[in-house]
Amino acid sequence: MLSTQTLRSLASKAALLRPLPQPYLASMNPALWSDSTHQRTDIVCHPHSGMKKPSPSPPPHKPNNFPNTYVNSLQRRHQITCTPPPALGTFRPPAMQHWEARPDRSLGSFGEGSTFTVPTMSYESLFDEETSGANDELLAHLYATGIVLVKGTPTDDEGMRALADCVTGGHPTGKSKGGGPLRTLYGEVWHTSVGSQDKATSTADSAYTSDSLPLHTDMTYHSTPPGLQIFNMATPAADGTGASTYLDGFAAAERLRTKNADAFDFLTSTAFTYRSVDADMGWHLEASGPVIQLDPVDQHTVASVRHNDLDRLAAVPPPAVREQGEEEEALWYERMERAFSAWDGVITEPGRRLIIKLEAGDCTIVHNRRVMHGRESFTLKEGDAARSIVGCYTDADNLESRWRACFTKDIIKNKERFGTAKA
Ligand SMILES: [Fe+2]
């Protein structure tokens, strides 16, 4: 008799081999898509008013001409959605690696070694023509693990701008520029040493203190939180305190899914509101979303994590619950408490948190919608240089665009090898 695990594995393989539905094949007929703009050609509108007119009948379609790699890619769950036109090829990203920082006892006593090693690259390699594949390597690491450590990063604003541009700046071959730091209430490049911060930007955040910071993702009060947080240690605390902490939110979400299905269901289906107010600078940002966001298309894959207890506002049950009266409201609040308690339980599991003592010029690039970060407290002694950070954010859509372009581009170059899927 086959085990449940084997049956599941066979079922998932069978799903991958299923042919694409006929309506999809009909709609993705290459004859219905422009080779130059990659937009639909069967949407017809009045040349003057722009009012939509009935579409002409689609041309006949030969259904079995998509390469198997393309068919399988569409049916596989990815970190991001990607549906390149068949003529462009297949999206083939690196394998996802969910990680924990659980110490490996074979490496030494508890706390000395970790089963997870942060992918590490040098700043120089990213800008050296002889290592032109380094940007692709950086993007691949970011996709797979959500965190990369870049050594030897200049601690000035220009270093940050160059790094931001390098990760999200347009075409991977360098044909176009763009991307770069995202402008937020903290400006483009920010500094946590208050004296260096641009005077017109906000410092209304607990990051501008010496206290510890619980694990969180940044800018949960934005409708689309930044894709990357680029965080460069300019001056570490003199006595070695103030270590940076990280946690894989995707791994934590999957752990919650298996450990407490009801908590996972609640935190994926309930939106909470987050806020940042800086009255002096005139900012009042608010945005809502679930703590664990599932991919809106496949409704299964964890697409992003939005978690910051310090910025999360008190929750009100949705109207459908409130209409049912106080008893249902009370049950909703109890369920919410249980869900957050289970989530906190996963986040605080021993060994899940990665701790790094960053040296000057050590820059972590973190996928902000996946990997949480925090900080241990640090001491400020008279006469010591103050611990200071320089950093910036990049846009989430630009990052995902780079991933799509990077992990499909080899196929574009070699499309004859894979077939052009012309009807
Ligand atoms: Fe933060």
Domain layout of the chain by residue ranges = 105-405
Report how far ligand 1's centroid is from the alpha carbon of 205 (Å).
9
Q: What is the pTM of this model?
A: 0.87
Rounded distance between C-alpha atoms, residue 400 and residue 407, angstroms: 11
Report how far ligand 1's centroid is from the alpha carbon of 47 (Å).
50
Q: Are 394 and 164 in contact (CB under 8 A)?
A: yes
The predicted structure's pLDDT at residue 197: 54
Distance of CA 248 to the CA centre of its chain: 11
Report how far ligand 1's centroid is from the alpha carbon of 391 (Å).
11
Report how far ligand 1's centroid is from the alpha carbon of 37 (Å).
39
Cα three-residue angle 43-49-55, rounded to 5 degrees = 20
Report how far ligand 1's centroid is from the alpha carbon of 370 (Å).
13
The two beta strands, 363-367 and 147-151, are antiparallel
Report how far ligand 1's centroid is from the alpha carbon of 189 (Å).
14
**CATH T-level assignment (fold) for domain 105-405:** Double-stranded beta-helix (3.60.130)
Report how far ligand 1's centroid is from the alpha carbon of 248 (Å).
15
Report how far ligand 1's centroid is from the alpha carbon of 245 (Å).
10
Report how far ligand 1's centroid is from the alpha carbon of 243 (Å).
13
The predicted structure's pLDDT at residue 132: 67
Report how far ligand 1's centroid is from the alpha carbon of 307 (Å).
10
Cα three-residue angle 81-101-375, rounded to 5 degrees = 90
Report how far ligand 1's centroid is from the alpha carbon of 265 (Å).
26
In the chain, what is the greatest distance between 2 CA atoms, to the nearest angstrom? 79
Report how far ligand 1's centroid is from the alpha carbon of 85 (Å).
37
The predicted structure's pLDDT at residue 420: 38
Read off the tokens for 255.
């752990």
Mean pLDDT by runs of 10 across the 423 residues of the chain is 51 61 83 86 90 81 70 86 80 92 57 75 87 84 96 93 83 60 92 64 69 94 96 90 93 97 98 94 95 95 97 96 97 98 95 92 97 90 81 94 84 42 31
Report how far ligand 1's centroid is from the alpha carbon of 254 (Å).
23
The predicted structure's pLDDT at residue 419: 39
The predicted structure's pLDDT at residue 88: 73
Report how far ligand 1's centroid is from the alpha carbon of 206 (Å).
9
The predicted structure's pLDDT at residue 199: 64
Report how far ligand 1's centroid is from the alpha carbon of 229 (Å).
8
117 CB-near residues (< 8 Å, 6+ apart)? none
Cα three-residue angle 359-364-369, rounded to 5 degrees = 150
Report how far ligand 1's centroid is from the alpha carbon of 385 (Å).
22
In single-letter form, the type of residue at position 309 comes to D
Report how far ligand 1's centroid is from the alpha carbon of 161 (Å).
19
Rounded distance between C-alpha atoms, residue 418 and residue 204, angstroms: 53
Please state the three-class secondary structure of the chain as a single string: CCCHHHHHHHHHHHHHHCCCCHHHHHHCCHHHECCCCCCECCCEECCCCCCEECCCCCCCCCCCCCCHHHHHHHHCCCCCCCCCCHHHCCCCCCCCCCCCCCCCHHHCCCCCCCCCCCCEEEHHHHHCHHHCCHHHHHHHHHHHHCEEEEECCCCCHHHHHHHHHHHHCCCCCCCCCCCCCCCECCECEEECCHHHCCCCCCCCCHHHCCCCEEEECCCCCCCCCCCEEEEEEEECCCCCCCCEEEEEHHHHHHHHHHHCHHHHHHHHHCEEEEEEEECCCCEEEEEEEECEEECCCCCCCEEEECCCCCCECCCCCCHHHHCCCHHHHHHHHHHHHHHHHHHHHHHCCCCCCEEECCCCCCEEEEECCCEEEEECCCCCCCCCCCCEEEEEEECHHHHHHHHHHHHHHHHHHCHHHHCCCCC
Report how far ligand 1's centroid is from the alpha carbon of 45 (Å).
47
The predicted structure's pLDDT at residue 418: 36
Report how far ligand 1's centroid is from the alpha carbon of 308 (Å).
9
Report how far ligand 1's centroid is from the alpha carbon of 40 (Å).
41
Report how far ligand 1's centroid is from the alpha carbon of 52 (Å).
46
Report how far ligand 1's centroid is from the alpha carbon of 218 (Å).
5
